[in-house]
Amino acid sequence: MNVLIMGAPGAGKGTQAAMIAGEFGIPHISTGDALRLAVDQGTAMGQLAKGYMERGELVPDDVMNGIVRERLGQDDCRGGFLLDGFPRTVPQAEALDGILAESGRKIDRVVYLDVDRELLLERVTGRRVCRSCGATYHVRFHPPAKPGVCDKCGGELYQRKDDSAETVRTRLEEYDKKTAPLLAYYRERGVLCRIDGAKPIAEVSEDIRRCLRGPAE
Ligand code: AP5
Ligand code: MG
Ligand code: ZN
């Protein structure tokens, strides 16, 4: 099964992707995580992406399309994959269709997590991420047993640089302008499932399971 998970910053893509990838046995491909790793490692791509990410702007399409083409060509994606945070523009969606068509593949389902603005801001500004394993927490909605320490691996929790209220505003504007039009793109293709992402984490997971096992909207 080839799946996309979509939604505004803070909608819960990463949180739910971990569940889907585990249960359905497919790799979780987060372009945001891939870029953050490249920035930390100081690769050429990381140096290029850093400024865009810190400002909350999208990284150029040709860079992103290259990353995804390379990743989807790897063996572990043959039995399906879950893309988180890509595509984010209509040209990226068209490029993705082209990449998949080359190997006779297509997108089977698009999970869209719908969450209103106020809640998104609260989620993003309260998020904490494990430096070692990448697990995601929230100071109010999903706190670790011990503040600042990962429940899963004992790693240190940190706040993403782009999670300041100021940068989140730019990220949300980018989403409205460039990414939201993709919902119509996938709805027309009959693969979109809109899910109420404001519910508690476990309930959202249950709704996603239902969408992936049954027909789209
Ligand atoms: P990326 O890392 O993808 O960031 P994003 O899209 O802004 O999304 P987030 O990761 O912030 O949110 P999420 O939906 O994963 O939410 P999460 O599960 O963590 O991209 C970062 C940057 O990289 C971009 O700005 C851009 O510069 C660049 N980039 C990446 N891909 C690109 C592309 N394709 N093209 C161009 N540029 C690209 O949850 C958020 C918080 O809420 C957590 O604290 C969590 O614990 C909590 N939470 C989650 N679900 C619930 C719930 N149901 N109830 C209560 N709390 C919840
Ligand atoms: Mg994420
Ligand atoms: Zn951890």
How do strand 136-138 and strand 127-130 relate by DSSP bridges? antiparallel
Domains contained in the chain, number: 1
**Could you report how far apart the first and last alpha carbons of the chain are, in Å?**
17
Residues of 119-134 as b/e, b for ≥16 C-beta within 10 angstroms?
A: ebbebbebbbbbeeeb
* Spatial distance between the Cα atoms of 101 and 99, rounded to a whole number of angstroms: 6
Contacts of 46 (CB under 8 A, 6+ apart): 35, 37, 38, 39, 40
Pick the catalytic residue: 50, 88, 123, 128? 88
Tell me, yes or no, if 127 is annotated catalytic.
yes
* Spatial distance between the Cα atoms of 52 and 198, rounded to a whole number of angstroms: 28
| Domain annotation covers residue 36 | no
| Domain annotation covers residue 123 | no
Query: pLDDT digits over 80-135, tens only?
Result: 999 999 999 999 999 999 999 999 999 999 999 999 999 999 999 999 999 999 99
| Domain annotation covers residue 207 | yes
* Spatial distance between the Cα atoms of 67 and 213, rounded to a whole number of angstroms: 29
| Domain annotation covers residue 58 | no
133: tokens are: 């394993």
The pLDDT, as a whole number, for residue 214 is 80
Q: Is the CB of 88 under 6 A from ligand 1?
A: yes
| Domain annotation covers residue 101 | yes
Q: Is the CB of 65 under 6 A from ligand 1?
A: no
Other C-beta atoms lying within 10 Å of the C-beta of residue 4 = 25
Rounded mean pLDDT, 5-31: 96
The pLDDT, as a whole number, for residue 126 is 96
Q: Residue 108 belongs to what domain range?
A: 2-26+79-116+164-213
Q: Model confidence at 186, in pLDDT bands (50, 70, 90)?
A: very high
Tell me, yes or no, if 209 is annotated catalytic.
no
Q: Is the CB of 129 under 6 A from ligand 1?
A: no
| Domain annotation covers residue 18 | yes
Contact yes or no for 82/97 (Cβ under 8 A): no
Report the CATH number at residue 177: 3.40.50.300
Rounded mean pLDDT, 167-184: 97
| Domain annotation covers residue 132 | no
| Domain annotation covers residue 110 | yes
Query: pLDDT digits over 2-17, tens only?
Result: 999 999 999 999 999 9
Tell me, yes or no, if 171 is annotated catalytic.
yes
Q: What SS3 state is found at 59?
A: coil
- Nearest Cα to Cα of residue 76 among 133, 29, 130, 108: 29
